[in-house]
Amino acid sequence: MLDIKVVRNDPEMVKENIRKKFQDSKLPLVDEVVEMDRRYRDAKTRCDTLRGQRNTISKQIGAFMAKGQKDEAEKAKAEVTAMAKELEDLEKLEEELAAEIKKRMMVIPNIIDPSVPVGRDDSENVEVERFGEPAVPDFEVPYHIDIMERLNGVDLDSARRTSGNGFYYLKGDIARLHSAILSYARDFMIDRGFTYYVPPFMIRSDVVTGVMSFAEMENMMYKIEGEDLYLIGTSEHSMIGKFIDQILDEGELPQTLTSYSPCFRKEVGAHGIEERGVYRIHQFEKQEMIVVCKPEDSAQWFVKLYQNTVDFFRSLDIPVRTLECCSGDLADLKVKSLDVEAWSPRQKKYFEVGSCSNLGDAQARRLGIRVRGEKGTYIPHTLNNTVVAPPRMLIAYLENNLQADGSVAIPKPLQMYMGGKAFIK
């Protein structure tokens, strides 16, 4: 959510930002907010004036009564009564206007970073850099589910019977590999100075609306019927929500956290949920990284975060590339976002395995997170990035480590988590 002062002082800049995101239907909201804000401030000023006058006249009533000037006292009381009615009406108007302003401000998109390329959708995202040499072996690379099934590592049919499409059973060495990757990711981030967390897997609605836009919430979150609780779509939700309504000391920044969680997503409107595979699913597990920092430090943290993911995948010898998300592909709260994509030898192309986001002060403003510094309080910036999210990452892993005989090589960093095994056969 933007600072109301930004909309008040430079509405045309806010409108231009909306145009860059190709959300022209939201343009009228800016003028509506400006007009409502003017009325709100007028009402507030009038309320303050009335309260001052009421206090003055109330003191006069006592003086009139002490002097026996009953007529004057009654006239003063009538004035106070009239003021009380006007004050009541104005306070109600203030409340209504504040609610309407917030309603609109919650859907006006955040101001994107000047470096973000302007584009309508993800087809106009821009490749930034490649890491590692993408290779295609001289033998056929099967579909990832076929690889898993040949290794007796997945059961989709049973999952359909128990849960429906978009679910899976992992088993045997593939299940162990899944856990090994998460354990390695945990230790990888701890070694980089991040504090490890296992957060709550459900959050309240005030946290949900603080960490994401309404459109994202509608398409992602599962609601617990009869309770004010939602299943998290990523541990970022719990981890940023951890600071709701808190005032942090500046000396506590940056907060660098890494968290494990299962993730639950409705994936409304997503293509591929009916496919036979584990690329787009309703339930998965993920290791995440989260940073809360000073505003002036968020740009450098953004680079550090996506570099962590690149380094993680390269440590497993998986080629990756980074892709700058264009303006039309950015969620409304994001200032800047970059996807990390892994190489698929079977498809001979890259596919998304993680996303790094700088949200500026949008989440912190919504959640009421502040920092107490030497020059007063201010709102910090928040960032998040995926370390790894199996089983999607398993697709890249299995394809890039498949051997001609059908076995899968286990890189050195994972072998200690796999009981010393060098191959899955």
Say whether 113 sits in a helix, a strand or coil. Answer: coil
255 in a domain, yes or no? yes
Say how far residue 210 (Cα) sits from the centre of its chain.
9
183, 264: one domain: yes
Residue span of the structural domain in which 14 resides: 4-105
Q: Are residues 99 and 129 in the same domain?
A: no
Strands 255-264 vs 195-197: parallel, antiparallel or unpaired? parallel
Structural domain includes residue 51: yes
DSSP letter (8 states) at residue 152:
T
Same domain, 85 and 203: no
Side-by-side strand order, sheet with 247-249: 247-249, 370-373, 376-378
Per-residue CA distances from 320 to 291, 403, 411, 424 (Å): 23, 20, 16, 23
Strand partners, 356: 338, 385
Task: Please tell me whether residues 49 and 183 are part of one structural domain.
Answer: no
Mean pLDDT of 387-392: 88
End of a domain among 56, 71, 105? 105
pTM of the model: 0.88
Query: Is 307 a domain residue?
Result: yes
Q: Does residue 172 sit in the same domain as residue 246?
A: yes
Whether residues 297 and 378 share a domain: the answer is yes
For residues 84 and 183, membership in a common domain is answered with no
- For the chain, the average pLDDT equals 92
Q: What is the CATH number of the domain that holds 226?
A: 3.30.930.10
Residue 280 pLDDT: 79
Confidence of residue 273 (pLDDT cuts 50, 70, 90): low
- Are the C-beta atoms of 320 and 301 separated by less than 8 Å? no
pLDDT of the residue at 268: 59
Quick check: is 212 in a domain?
Answer: yes
Q: How far apart are CA 185 and CA 179, in angstroms?
A: 10
| pLDDT tens per residue across span 303-353 | 999 999 999 999 999 999 999 999 999 999 999 999 999 999 999 999 999
Kindly state whether residue 260 falls inside one of the protein's structural domains.
yes
For residues 10 and 73, which has the higher predicted lDDT (pLDDT)?
10
Answer whether residue 369 shows pLDDT above 60: yes
Helices 27-66 + 70-105 axis angle, to 10: 160
Residue at a domain's end among 38, 73, 105: 105
* Mean pLDDT within 259-270: 82
Cis peptide leading into residue 319 (ω within 30°): no
- Per-residue pLDDT, 401: 95
Kind and range of the H or E element at 362? helix 362-367
How long, in residues, is the chain?
A: 425
SS3 126: strand
The residue among 301, 277, 268 whose CA lies nearest residue 394 is: 277
Residues 70 and 206 in one domain: no
The residue type of 268 is: V
Enter the tokens of residue 415: 């072998």
Q: Are residues 192 and 97 in the same domain?
A: no
Flag whether 116 is in a domain: no
Tell me the mean pLDDT in the region 3-30: 96
Predicted pLDDT at 270: 55
Q: What is the predicted pLDDT for the residue at 278?
A: 76
357 and 316 share one domain? yes
Residue 274 has pLDDT above 80, yes or no: no
Tally of domains in the chain: 2
pLDDT digits 0-9 by tens, 200-253: 999 999 999 899 876 777 778 899 999 999 999 999 999 999 999 999 999 999
Bigger pLDDT: 87 vs 225: 225
